[in-house]
């Protein structure tokens, strides 16, 4: 029997019963999509198609279509790559780390957050993949296949190769973790379909649920698998952004060559990820009427994580500056002064305002429990974190060692186009997920309904 | 699946009632086929007397296989098969091999464990499960008792289930 302290906030409001949980969550899978859904889906498809056109042009003509030049060889592509990977991290944090810490408030948000992780990682992976120019040779270049000229292998000393392994492992393990969570919920929809007499749906969802029955023995094994997957995902998620940061940290470029990068990147990833989770969930909650499952209390807890990680990121920015001064390396000092006062000062100060100042507003309870202000700040944080990656990447590169090589980066339509493509892809996938898959983990929420739900009086 | 199996099916509304019922029913000498729940009920596996799952061991074995395989492959490729001189450093040194080794360990461990889970639980996308009560994925806990396993009569088992809090007792034949 589960006992919960009476002073804990209720996690499921509205006096829901176990039966209400299946009803509320399965209903939108069973019903027809609303006009709002079709509108959003249409807009996403437009983005996807425009981006697809830009990608085709890029593949046909090569990455010279982007605004890159000899000095700034990495810009929007890698910025967007790091930005999307970072967003993905919140999903794993919610589902794995909070599971290990036995935080029950994760239960009604983990499904959507993990879906976000998976789609975000696909978006992220598309950037380095297209940056290779000849996408179809990607497997051959990135995986350890013997080279045609001998048996020259891939270079396992390179962080870029570690990234290939980290991102692909992260994607596949997150996918398995997410799918494991979905299995019992697909069975709920199957059994409801049988009762409603909808044969095709029953067959499809039975296939998706792998013929789930929910026996005590299977549940026992299932919980063991979930716990171990959480245990594996926790170091995995930390390793992924650590390795992403090593793409920069192991180089000798002033502004990149810093040991603070791994923890700073991981904190930034969780920071931006939670902002994206909030942006998505506040909309999902409204559209699917999930106010009783995703409560103000959930929003407040996520905002508290944003304050913590935002402050860590702020301290990291200051530490970088301090170490540049304290380290007494002129190139390093120049890189940092140039960031704040050089031609990209506007990007630096946008980053500082969005990432360091705006989350501090959440110290006020009124602001962190208000949905409108949360939504606005979550978007500001997302913008700020994009600028952070842009600042790190472009400002460190644009002033080369030789002043004759100094240059600026100007994005072309194709830079913007691929970014829009990932947005289109992300929202198309998320909308399909929200329509055809249960957006809240029913089995987990059911297990806490009795202990934490408000009682009807 | 063997044909002509007769089951007595007890339906329970509440997980705490179910837990005590499982203990009581087993004490009365009834052998329970399986209990189906919409969500994991903690303590149910112990009440039913199940042995702890050995899946963690499987996960460890798959993981260690990944570690060894990744370390061996990298050392062999860069150290022996095609040594490369990068800044005069060792051809094969351990630290740069750790990230890929770690990722491969996690990958093999996760996939190996999940595939093992699907196999031992006999879960396949194309098999339709034996459903004792369709509400067992919704809000009811369903206890199935196989008559072939028990010496007691159908009526006696039904009475024991009812006495221990089952809200309904049904019969199910496959």
Could you tell me the CA-to-CA distances from A408 to A258, A343, A383 in Å, in that order? 23, 8, 21
**Consecutive 10-residue averages of pLDDT for chain A (457 residues):** 62 80 85 88 94 92 89 91 91 86 84 92 92 81 74 84 92 93 92 88 90 89 92 92 92 89 91 92 87 88 92 92 91 91 92 92 91 92 93 91 90 92 94 91 84 54
Q: What is the pLDDT of residue B1?
A: 45
Co-location of B48 and B71 in the same domain: no
> What is the domain extent for residue B33?
6-52+136-173
Instruction: Compute the distance between CA of residue A88 and CA of residue A272 in angstroms, rounded to an integer.
Output: 9
Task: Report chain A's mean pLDDT, rounded to a whole number.
Answer: 88
pLDDT tens, residue by residue, A156-195: 888 999 999 999 999 999 999 999 999 999 999 998 998 8
Co-location of B152 and B108 in the same domain: no
Instruction: Compute the distance between CA of residue A52 and CA of residue A415 in angstroms, rounded to an integer.
Output: 12
B106 vs A19, A173, A219: nearest CB: A173
Locate tokens 């023995």: which residue?
A217
Helix (H, G, I), strand (E, B) or coil at A373: helix
Q: In total, how many domains does chain B have?
A: 2
Closest CA to A300 of A370, A253, A379: A370
Q: What angle do helix axes B55-75 and A216-249 make, rounded to 10 degrees? A: 30
How many whole angstroms from its chain centre is CA A393? Answer: 20
> How many beta-carbon pairs under 8 angstroms link A with B?
195
Q: What is the pLDDT of residue A107?
A: 85
Q: What is the pLDDT of residue A236?
A: 93
Co-location of B84 and B98 in the same domain: yes
Q: Would you call A18 and B139 a contact, using CB atoms and an 8 Å cutoff?
A: yes
Kindly give, in sequence order, each residue whose CB lies less than 8 Å from that of residue B147, ignoring residues fewer than 6 positions away.
B5, B6, B7, B8, B154, B157
Q: Would you call A187 and B102 a contact, using CB atoms and an 8 Å cutoff?
A: no
Domains in chain A, ordered, with CATH?
31-135+155-452 (1.20.1630.10)
pLDDT tens, residue by residue, A196-219: 888 888 899 999 999 898 888 899
pLDDT tens, residue by residue, A127-147: 998 988 888 877 777 888 877
Question: Averaged over B2-17, what is the pLDDT?
Answer: 80
Which of A210, A243, A443 should we substitute to test contact with B (largest number of B Cβ atoms within 10 Å)? Answer: A210
pLDDT tens, residue by residue, A315-328: 999 999 999 999 99
Co-location of B48 and B59 in the same domain: no
**Nearest-CA residue of chain B relative to A442?**
B39
Instruction: Compute the distance between CA of residue B161 and CA of residue A99 in angstroms, rounded to an integer.
Output: 35
pLDDT tens, residue by residue, A385-405: 999 999 999 999 998 888 898
Provide Rg for chain B, Cα atoms. 25
A225 vs B96, B117, B128: nearest CB: B117
Q: Would you call A165 and B37 a contact, using CB atoms and an 8 Å cutoff?
A: no
Percent of chain B topping pLDDT 70: 98
Q: What is the pLDDT of residue A420?
A: 93
Residue B109 has pLDDT above 80, yes or no: yes
Co-location of B45 and B74 in the same domain: no
- Kindly report the nearest CA distance between residue A401 and chain B, in angstroms: 21
Co-location of B106 and B66 in the same domain: yes
Co-location of B140 and B160 in the same domain: yes
Which of B20, B50, B51, B110 should we substitute to test contact with A (largest number of A Cβ atoms within 10 Å)? Answer: B110
Residue A273 Ramachandran class (φ > 0 left, ψ -120 to 50 alpha, else beta) = alpha
Q: Would you call B131 and A213 a contact, using CB atoms and an 8 Å cutoff?
A: yes
Chain B residues lying within 8 Å of A450, measured CB to CB = 14-15
Co-location of B65 and B91 in the same domain: yes
B127 belongs to a structural domain: no
- Kindly report the nearest CA distance between residue A241 and chain B, in angstroms: 12
Co-location of B73 and B112 in the same domain: yes
Residue of B67 and B169 predicted with greater confidence: B67
B131 belongs to a structural domain: no
**CATH number of the domain where residue B154 is located:** 3.30.70
Co-location of B27 and B42 in the same domain: yes
Q: Would you call B103 and A165 a contact, using CB atoms and an 8 Å cutoff?
A: yes
Co-location of B31 and B77 in the same domain: no
Instruction: Compute the distance between CA of residue A261 and CA of residue A243 in angstroms, rounded to an integer.
Output: 10
Q: Would you call B34 and A195 a contact, using CB atoms and an 8 Å cutoff?
A: no
B69 belongs to a structural domain: yes
Co-location of B63 and B19 in the same domain: no
Helices H / strands E in chain B, number of each: 5, 4
Residue B148 has pLDDT above 90, yes or no: no
Q: Would you call A228 and B48 a contact, using CB atoms and an 8 Å cutoff?
A: no
B113 belongs to a structural domain: yes
A1 vs B16, B111, B118: nearest CB: B16
B110 vs A229, A246, A443: nearest CB: A229
Q: Would you call A153 and B81 a contact, using CB atoms and an 8 Å cutoff?
A: yes
Q: What is the pLDDT of residue A151?
A: 66
| DSSP structure string for A172-213 | HHHHHHHHHHHHHHHHHHHHHHHHHT-HHHHHHHHHHTTT--
Q: Would you call B84 and A155 a contact, using CB atoms and an 8 Å cutoff?
A: yes
pLDDT tens, residue by residue, B54-102: 999 999 999 999 999 999 999 998 888 888 777 888 888 888 899 999 9
* CA max distance for chain A: 77
pLDDT tens, residue by residue, A248-257: 999 888 889 8
Chain A residues lying within 8 Å of B112, measured CB to CB = none
Q: Would you call A215 and B106 a contact, using CB atoms and an 8 Å cutoff?
A: no
């Amino acid at each position: 029997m589960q006992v919960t302290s009476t002073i804990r906030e209720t996690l499921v409001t509205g006096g829901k019963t176990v039966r209400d949980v299946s009803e509320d969550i399965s209903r939108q899978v069973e019903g027809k999509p609303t006009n709002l859904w079709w509108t959003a889906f249409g807009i996403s498809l437009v983005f996807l198609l425009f981006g697809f056109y830009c990608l085709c042009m890029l593949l046909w003509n090569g990455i010279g279509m982007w605004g890159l030049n000899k000095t700034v060889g990495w810009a929007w592509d890698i910025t967007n790559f790091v930005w999307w990977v970072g967003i993905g991290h919140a999903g794993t944090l919610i589902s794995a780390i909070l599971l290990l810490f036995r935080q029950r408030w994760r239960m009604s948000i983990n499904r959507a957050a993990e879906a976000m992780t998976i789609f975000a990682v696909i978006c992220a992976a598309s950037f380095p993949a297209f940056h290779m120019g000849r996408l179809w040779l990607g497997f051959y270049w990135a995986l350890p296949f013997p080279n045609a000229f001998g048996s020259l292998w891939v270079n396992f000393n390179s962080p870029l190769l570690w990234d290939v392994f980290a991102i692909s492992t992260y994607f596949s393990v997150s996918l398995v973790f997410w799918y494991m969570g979905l299995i019992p919920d697909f069975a709920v929809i199957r059994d409801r379909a049988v009762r409603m007499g909808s044969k095709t749906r029953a067959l499809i969802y039975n296939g998706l649920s792998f013929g789930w029955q929910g026996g005590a023995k299977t549940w026992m094994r299932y919980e063991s698998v979930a716990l171990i997957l959480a245990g594996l995902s926790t170091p995995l998620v930390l390793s992924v952004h650590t390795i992403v940061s090593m793409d920069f940290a192991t180089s000798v470029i002033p502004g990149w060559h810093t040991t603070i990068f791994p923890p700073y990147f991981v904190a930034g990833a969780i920071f931006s990820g939670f902002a994206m989770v909030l942006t998505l969930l506040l909309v999902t909650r409204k559209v699917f009427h999930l106010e009783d499952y995703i409560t103000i209390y959930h929003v407040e807890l996520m905002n508290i994580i944003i304050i913590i990680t935002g402050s860590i990121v702020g301290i990291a920015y200051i530490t970088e500056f301090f170490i540049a001064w304290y380290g007494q390396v002129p190139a390093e000092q120049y890189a940092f002064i140039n960031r704040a006062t050089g031609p990209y000062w506007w990007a630096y100060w946008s980053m500082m305002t969005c990432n360091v100042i705006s989350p501090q507003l959440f110290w006020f309870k009124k602001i962190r429990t208000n949905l409108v202000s949360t939504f606005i700040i979550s978007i500001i944080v997302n913008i700020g974190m994009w600028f952070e990656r842009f600042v790190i990447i472009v400002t460190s590169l644009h002033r080369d060692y030789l002043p004759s090589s100094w240059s600026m980066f100007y994005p072309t339509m194709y830079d913007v186009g691929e970014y829009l493509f990932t947005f289109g892809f992300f929202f198309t996938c998320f909308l399909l997920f929200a329509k055809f898959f249960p957006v809240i983990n029913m089995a987990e929420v059911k297990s806490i309904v009795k202990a934490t739900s408000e009682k009807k009086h | 699946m063997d044909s002509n199996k007769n089951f007595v099916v007890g339906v329970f509304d509440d997980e705490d009632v179910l837990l005590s019922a499982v203990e009581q029913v087993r004490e009365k000498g009834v052998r329970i086929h399986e209990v189906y729940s919409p969500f994991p009920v903690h303590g149910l596996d112990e009440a039913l007397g199940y042995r702890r799952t050995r899946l963690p061991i499987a996960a460890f074995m798959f993981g260690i296989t990944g570690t060894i395989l990744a370390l061996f492959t990298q050392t062999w490729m860069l150290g022996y098969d095609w040594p490369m001189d990068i800044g005069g450093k060792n051809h094969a040194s351990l630290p740069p091999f750790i990230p890929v080794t770690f990722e491969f360990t996690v990958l093999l461990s996760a996939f190996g464990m999940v595939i093992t889970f699907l196999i031992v639980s006999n879960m396949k996308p194309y098999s339709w499960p034996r459903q004792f009560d369709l509400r067992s994925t919704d809000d009811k806990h369903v206890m199935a008792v196989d008559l072939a396993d028990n010496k007691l009569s159908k009526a006696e088992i039904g009475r024991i289930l009812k006495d221990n809090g089952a809200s309904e007792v049904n019969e199910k034949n496959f």
